[in-house]
Amino acid sequence: MVSEMGTEVEAVQWLNGALTLLDQRCLPQQEVYLTCTDVAAVATAIQKMVVRGAPAIGIAAAYGVVLAAKQRYWQAAEEWQYHIDQDLTLLAQSRPTAVNLFWAIARMRERIKHIGGDDPVHRLLHEAESIHHEDNQANRCMGELGARLITASCNVLTHCNAGALATGGYGTALGVIRCAFRLKKIHQVYADETRPWLQGSRLTAWELLRDNIPVTLLADGAASYLMKQGNIGWVIVGADRIAANGDVANKIGTLGLAVNARYHGVKFMVVAPTSTVDLSLSHGDAIPIEHRPAAEVLTLGGESVAATGAQAWNPAFDITPAALIDAIVTEKGVIESPDQNKTMALMQNEVYLPQN
């Protein structure tokens, strides 16, 4: 698939009756693809971060349900709906913070209810492909909406990776950046390295360079000083879960960026599909935060970088309060200065569009 700006990355693909994933642990040095032929392999790929990014995790899980149904129906055609429930549970346990995972599983579960005793694979595959396609289209819509918010040409800063690698294609935060760059609204992208997995330096830089978008890396701790220089117009990030009041869970380090952006007068934009909004949680403190192994902090590229005996605290995400966010961009529209009333209105299709 070719986008407006080069060869688009396809991190999640259904090929020859199996799920093929671009192994993001190997980028940028190698482009390695893993093939998952059963649901256990999909759950492991999500947990081990072969595939990452909330929308991409949801899409992979949907295809995982297809693989589970294929196996369960072959083993016991009359009881496959009963046995597949444990497969859905396995997928749900793979990562706790990204709500798109649970949203996709719930959507596939609803589809399962209406299949009856027939062979489920074709209909579930159609549903998974619909989720995939809808996400791609939503990203392109968000790209256009978010780009409208950038009224003057500027440099922007992003954190982690919220591009085609993290979605069904094009990207959320990077979708806005791609669109705005095409419209000559962005001169330069600054990308945090994003420790400890270095998604910024390994993945975001790789994606942007493929589209000939100039990118400069910086250590996470350098972002505040960069803002102080007056070089940044917007911070643009993705999200793994958004609470009803507009609080946002995103990659660890996002909260610090939001605090620094507010202090330095830099606008802060969150870009995510409505499948990321969790209206069951009234505020961000209720969002479950995944804590990952200490080795991710204590080592780098498999080599120890810490003093022997040192401990590590490794939350994968933090919570940015709605009060620090200037705009949340979704495929349904934009919430400026988000709060619970605006979030609820948007989710009920009362669209808040950006002011030109």
Among 87, 240, 247, 318, the active-site one is 240
Q: Which domains does the chain have, with CATH numbers?
A: 2-135 (1.20.120.420), 149-347 (3.40.50.10470)
Q: What is the pLDDT of residues 271-295, one digit of tens each?
A: 999 999 999 999 999 999 999 999 9
Q: Is the pLDDT assigned to residue 37 strictly greater than 80?
A: yes
- pLDDT reported for residue 297: 96
Q: Is the pLDDT assigned to residue 354 strictly greater than 50?
A: no
Q: Is the pLDDT assigned to residue 4 strictly greater than 50?
A: no
pTM for the model stands at: 0.92
- pLDDT reported for residue 117: 66
pLDDT: which is higher, 302 or 204: 204
Q: What are phi and psi of 18, to 5 degrees?
A: -145, 165
d(CA 78, CA 332): 40
**42-62: average pLDDT:** 96
Look up residue 217 and give its amino acid: L
Among 120, 300, 95, smallest CA distance to 196 is for 300
Q: What is the pLDDT of residues 136-180, one digit of tens each?
A: 999 999 999 999 999 999 999 999 999 999 999 999 999 999 999
Residues with Cβ within 8 Å of 180's Cβ and at least 6 positions away in sequence, in order, are: 143, 146, 147, 150, 156, 186
356 CB burial (10 A radius; 0-12, 13-18, 19+):
exposed
Q: Is the pLDDT assigned to residue 352 strictly greater than 90?
A: no
Residue 240 is a catalytic residue: yes
Q: What is the pLDDT of residues 105-124, one digit of tens each?
A: 999 999 999 887 678 999 99
